[in-house]
Amino acid sequence: MALWHLLIILCLLATLVSPHSRPFTTPTVTRFTDSFPHVKVDSTFSKAFGDSNIQFLNNGSMATIALDKISGSGLVSKSRYYYGFFSAAIKLPAGLSSGVVVAFYLSNADKFPHNHDEIDIELLGHDKRNDWVFQTNIYANGSVNTGREEKFYFWFDPTQQYHYYSILWNSYHTVFMVDNIPVREFKHRSTFYPSKAMSVYCTIWDGSEWATHGGKYPVNYKYAPFNVTFSEMELSGCISDPTTQVSSCSKATPSSGLDPLNGPDFTKLSQQQITAMDWARRKLMFYSYCNDNTRFKVLPPECN
């Protein structure tokens, strides 16, 4: 076999190797998930849709939600939060997952349908290599046509065991974390920033049309049901008065002690966390809206 033939074959094989099969040495970071208490899922959340596909387990401390031919399913928090730390240990379904979308996110679209905010962690079943993709997104003040998506590969197999997916949202920045490693920081620098109280959602649904190139790789229900389990849930923040748009916590200052998530430990990333985030973005990010000149003729101001 000619040497150049061998090189081509090796290159093709390399493209088929999952990112999480490569040897990664992950950075050491502060574990924010150790700073907040776990909540019982059955008492903190209500069933949003697909009731028959939802099971509370382990005395209500865990929940499994499923997607089948009939329906997806989802949970919604009983309280609305104005800033906070939101985290879940999630185990994704194994096997062919193209078109399956698992989401852990905050939204107030039900209350403000034309002017809503949203902070998204979306786990996308992939159409190649049976991998999953980690996507983050933000909407603010009704800008529903201009999401700020970024996509990452995992450095592990998210179907084999539980991993932490976390959102820190306060008046200074929004930080997305995987196993406590920051992968994205969105700073509060402009009017494009989530500003109203939101509910927390856990969902699984058929995103074939949206997530697989217009339905090119739809969900294969031969492998249904697709089950995802949420555990070690953490929802710590200012619970908003449902009769108003703004929580009393928004008036607190770091020195007052009333709102620790706006305190010094959470208002800026440490150098250790910045180094870890740089590692994740260099090694694993494969799409950022800030690099998408086709979609944005003029890049959003935060990209500069």
Per-residue pLDDT of 233-274, as tens digits, reads 999 988 886 555 555 565 444 444 456 687 788 999 999 999
Query: Is the residue at 121 inside a domain?
Result: yes
Based on the residue annotation, tell me whether 122 is a catalytic residue of this protein. yes
- CA nearest neighbour of 102 among 134, 130, 127: 134
At 131 the pLDDT is 82
CATH number at residue 186: 2.60.120.200
pTM of the predicted structure, to 2 decimals: 0.89
Query: Could you check whether the bond before residue 254 is cis, i.e. omega within 30 degrees of 0?
Result: no
Q: How many domains does the chain have?
A: 1
- Residue of 118, 150, 185, 234 marked catalytic: 118
- Domain membership flag for residue 30: no
Q: What is the pLDDT of residues 163-209, one digit of tens each?
A: 999 999 998 999 999 999 999 999 998 778 998 999 999 999 999 88
For the record, the structure tokens of 49 come out as 């849709």
Q: How confident is the model at residue 217 (pLDDT cuts 50, 70, 90)?
A: confident
Q: Is the pLDDT of residue 297 over 50?
A: yes
- Over residues 44-55, mean pLDDT: 98
Categorize the per-residue pLDDT at 22 as very low, low, confident or very high, splitting at 50, 70 and 90: low
pLDDT at 60: 96
Give pLDDT, residue 51: 97
- In whole angstroms, how far apart are CA 270 and each of 20, 30, 57, 172? 26, 9, 37, 14
Q: Is residue 158 part of a domain?
A: yes
Is 149 assigned a catalytic role?
A: no
Q: Does pLDDT of 16 surpass 50?
A: no
- Give residue 108's domain range: 36-241+251-290
Out of 122, 150, 185, 234, which one is annotated catalytic? 122
Q: Is 20 within a domain? A: no
Q: Provide the residue type at 23 as one letter.
A: P
**Residue-averaged pLDDT of the chain:** 86
Cα distance between residue 289 and residue 151, in whole Å: 9
Q: For residue 66, tell me if it sits in a domain.
A: yes
Starting at the earlier edge strand, list the strands of the sheet with 226-239: 54-57, 62-67, 226-239, 81-91, 163-169, 173-178, 181-187
